[in-house]
Structure 1
């Protein structure tokens, strides 16, 4: 598979962010990953980006400054970025909270993995999403 696009990965937990990054690299050869340590850092890095059509955002929910829900609301209210797929990866399993995330505009909600094999499975799902975006 050719380089599909850029993944913006926001998580304030360094270990979780590193595991997800490594799994994505293992399952999506050549992918570009831009890491952010919280929601505000993510927004700052996305705004100057040149091609919103070739992005997917992976964001944790619970982060300082801007959380993942606030990120989704900001992105979906911006006409230039509202079509960027947002995948929320969070430890929160509460159905009411998950519905709130979908109402804010996320494309998919994934309960945060614990095991390496689960991280790889998440990366496979993201790869499939890229292939769908590319019309394959």
Structure 2
């Protein structure tokens, strides 16, 4: 987080000079190999926890920089086949993940809208 904090402070400084602020913030929960089986729907508790920590920090940064919204893009959420998927469990995990974000948003006083950007079949075959 130290590198991110440094960049965020630079962004805040530039904002004070330009009066430009972000329309939204987000956490990158799809490129790293740890997210190959999802973030909020990952069967690995460590991956889920890491993703939750990323969203927590991203919400805080979005709020600090005056962002108006926060976007969730579940590009790696979902499944390839029902043969190895417990849909009920995955949907419960996703719901808990999103509820935790709502709770943290309220805790830090972020008044922005939480947005979910669906991308059917991109890149996962079926998204939850």
- The bucket for the TM-score relative to the shorter chain is 0.3 to 0.5
Where is the helix percentage greater, Structure 1 or Structure 2?
Answer: 2
The structure, 1 or 2, with the larger RCO (C-alpha pairs under 8 Å, 6+ apart) is 2
Where is the strand percentage greater, Structure 1 or Structure 2?
Answer: 1
* Structure 2 length-normalised TM: 0.33
Q: Which one has a bigger Cα radius of gyration?
A: 2
* Structure 1 length-normalised TM: 0.32
